[in-house]
Every structure is written in structure tokens, then in C-alpha cells.
Amino acid sequence: MRLPRHAGRIAAAVLAAALALGGCSGSGGKKAEEKAASGGPRLKIAMVTHSGQGDTFWDIVKKGAEAAAGKDNVQLLYSADPEGGKQAQLVQTAIDQKADGIVVTLAKPDAMRDVLARAAAAKIPVVSINSGAEASAKLGAVAHFGQDETVAGEAAGRQLAKIGAKNAICVVHEQGNVGLESRCAGAKKTFGGKLQNLYVTGTDMPQVKSAITAKLQADKSIDGVLTLGAPFAPTAVDAAKDAGSKAKVATFDLNKDLIAQLESGAIWFAVDQQPYLQGYEAVDALWLLRSNGNALGGGRPVLTGPAIVTKDSAASLAAFANRGTR
């Protein structure tokens, strides 16, 4: 369809305005930053997660959040800590800074209960992402963006069976993380074979490798390894080689390095929950709520996954993964 002649001029004007906003200083010193696109005051949104920079998954989440913040002219404050108590302290800092909205993860929901009550008392809306969908509304969050971890686990279990595994291990890289436990529990429901959890220290990759290697050496009948995060899958592949095992490795989540291993067949499948969407939609949802009274989800989680990525579909995502958005 041919657009009216003036459409190009309008598009150019919109692009110029967007570039002008994008070029503003993060310090808030320029007048362009004083007003959001809606004409209201610039918002300050804090994102506090249980994992931070250097983790490929959370780098993608942050990239999505930054993209939404740039679009909405939001000041984004990002922080993270794996310990529930310290994460709660970071949320309290956001409350003290009078944030206009707070994004949290609920990997350890009990640790967040009191501080989220304080956010509610301060009339600061909270959105949760990634972990803790079941606890989100109970703890006062206005929306949750992520995948249902039990449903995702069930999808992984079915796919493990489909690739022919009969005796598999589910590698849990963070003890006490309710989302990871739900993934393994879901997989057990649908796998049909034997699936046992193997607990490792995710912050110590050599320990992860040695633990998987030892397990595969001790039980030669293990023919499947399911890791719960993209960085752990290549380590599991190496562990299987060291153990002389032919176990098929699969994982949750994607990154650009994993795409190549899916294409080569070293990793059999990945369960993608689209972390970019989680970061983007969380920030955008809070901006919409504060600037226009909109609410997403109708009180239920907004699902960003699961989607099964295999050798056949990996190539179509390679360009997005290479730029760090899948």
C-alpha cells in the first residue's frame, strides 16, 4: 500500500524527536528529560533482580528494560543480588529514592514479603518478572511477566522423551530458587523416565563441571542432562565428553553461543522464555500504568514462554541472538 506523500515527513520528524531524546544526558540536566512522551513528568523506575550483569540471561533482560526506558524516557535504576535479604535491601533503597515503580524478581518470595508491603504502603506500584509467578499477586505486584515454570518444565520433559532419553538429571544451579525447582518438578511429570535433581554451585563453573562429570561417571545409564540456564549447557557438554558419556544435553534459555551449539547438534534443544520481553514489558507496563492508567494481565501472569528451540529453528534466531536480544 502506498503511503501519502506527507507520511515520510512525519516519520522523519518522529525519528528526529526520538534521536533527540536518546541523546540526552542520563543526569536529568536537560529540559528534554523533564517530560516524558506523554507530556507527564519523567519517571524513575528501579529494577531489582536476583542475578546481575555478566550473566547472559540477565544481560538480555536488562537490554530489554533499557530499550523500554529509552522509548518512554524513563530513568532506569538497575541493581541485583542473589541473596534474598540483600535483594530486599535493594528494594528498600528504591523505596527510599521515591521510585515511581519497582520491578522485582521473586526467586525467594518470602524474603521479599515485608519490603513489598512497604512499597505498597508508599503507593509505589510493583511488577514482578521471571520468578515467582504464583506469589506475585499475593505479594501485591500489579503484573507478572515470565513463563509458568511448571508448564515450561513439562514442555522440557516431553522434549527429553522425544529425543529418546530414559534416565536423565536436572541440574539445579541455585538452591532455594523456586523457579528452578518448578522446572525440574514439571519435567518429572511428563518425562516418563527417571529424572533426578543434581544440585551444583552455579557461581563456580569448575565445580558445576566436576559435579556433572562425577555423576555421569558414577551412573553410565544416564542418557540425558537438562541444565536450567544457557551458560551451564556447554559445561555439561564438556562434562559428558570427560566422562565418556553419550548423554544428550538440553537446557533452558538462549544466548548467542548456544545458538551455534544447537545448530551443530551438540545441544539438543533449549526452552526459551524470551528474557528481552520480560525486561521490556515490565518497564513499559509501569510507564503505561503511571502515565495512562493502563494495566496488563487482568490479574494473571503475562506469559513470555515457553518455546522449544531446536537445530531446525535455531538459525532463524541467530541474528537476534548475535545482537544480544534473544
Predicted local distance difference test score (pLDDT) of residue 19 = 37
272, 253, 284: which is closest to 66 by C-alpha? 284
Share of the chain above pLDDT 90, in %: 81
pLDDT, tens digit, for every residue of 177-197?
A: 988 999 999 999 999 999 999
Predicted local distance difference test score (pLDDT) of residue 291 = 94
* pLDDT over threshold 70, residue 6: no
CATH topology assigned to domain 149-272+310-322: Rossmann fold (3.40.50)
DSSP structure string for 106-149? -SSHHHHHHHHHHHHHTT--EEEESS-HHHHGGGT-SEEEE--H
Confidence of residue 282 (pLDDT cuts 50, 70, 90): very high
Domain boundaries, the chain: 28-147+275-295, 149-272+310-322
Say which DSSP state 208 is in: H
Burial class (CB in 10 A: 0-12, 13-18, 19+), 88: buried
pLDDT, tens digit, for every residue of 13-71?
A: 433 433 333 333 333 444 444 454 555 679 999 999 998 666 889 999 999 999 999 99
Q: For the chain, give the mean pLDDT.
A: 89
Predicted local distance difference test score (pLDDT) of residue 55 = 81
* pLDDT over threshold 60, residue 132: yes
Mean pLDDT of 220-233: 97
Mean pLDDT of 84-92: 97
Q: Edge-to-edge strands of the sheet including 143-146?
A: 75-80, 44-49, 101-105, 126-129, 143-146, 302-303
28-147+275-295 and 149-272+310-322 have identical folds: yes
Q: Which CATH class is domain 28-147+275-295?
A: alpha beta
pTM: 0.80
